[in-house]
């Protein structure tokens, strides 16, 4: 089945710093989603981005489908950005998602 790898596994930032999280996937996909799991365990949709670039406030994402990777950019990080960031791609015909292991982000004040 399709493999999803995320890097780095852990990231510690000072508040105000920028960061780039990477997601590589092993096969062609027609969908990719980025999620933020907050410290309470909730999975928050960030982006649905099968290709191209999208921006939402301080966050933006780019997927280069032909090269099988996606990047999530966080600018001017805040302590509330802390948590685990997951990317996920379809693993079956019914759209079920295969998740990467996530990047655990800690933003220090």
Partner 1 sequence: EPEVTQTPSHQVTQMGQEVILRCVPISNHLYFYWYRQILGQKVEFLVSFYNNEISEKSEIFDDQFSVERPDGSNFTLKIRSTKLEDSAMYFCASSGQTAGNTIYFGEGSWLTVV
Distances (CA, A) of 24 to 71, 102, 108: 9, 12, 27
53 in contact with partner 1 (CB under 8 A): no
Q: What torsion do the CA atoms of 2, 83, 106, 3 make, to the nearest 10 degrees?
A: 0
Shortest reach from residue 22's CB to partner 1, in Å: 16
Residues 80-99 that bind partner 1 (CB under 8 A): 86, 88, 90-99
For the chain, give the number of residues: 109
Encoded one letter per residue, x for contact with partner 1 by CB under 8 A and - for no contact, window 11-40 reads -------------------xx-x-x-----
Residue placing its CB nearer to partner 1 in the complex, 41 or 109: 41
Q: Which of 2, 43, 59, 65 binds partner 1 (CB under 8 A)?
A: 43
Q: How far is CA 68 from the centre of its chain?
A: 14
């Amino acid at each position: 089945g399709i493999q999803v790898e995320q890097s780095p596994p852990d990231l510690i930032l000072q508040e105000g710093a920028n960061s780039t999280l990477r997601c590589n996937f092993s096969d062609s996909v027609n969908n990719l989603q980025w999620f933020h799991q907050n410290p309470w365990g909730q999975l928050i949709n960030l982006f649905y981005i099968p290709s191209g670039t999208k921006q939402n406030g301080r966050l933006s994402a780019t997927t280069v489908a032909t090269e099988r990777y996606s990047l999530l950019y966080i600018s001017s990080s805040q302590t509330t950005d802390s948590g685990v960031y997951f990317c996920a791609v379809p693993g079956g015909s019914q759209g079920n998602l295969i998740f990467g292991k996530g990047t655990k982000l800690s933003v220090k004040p």
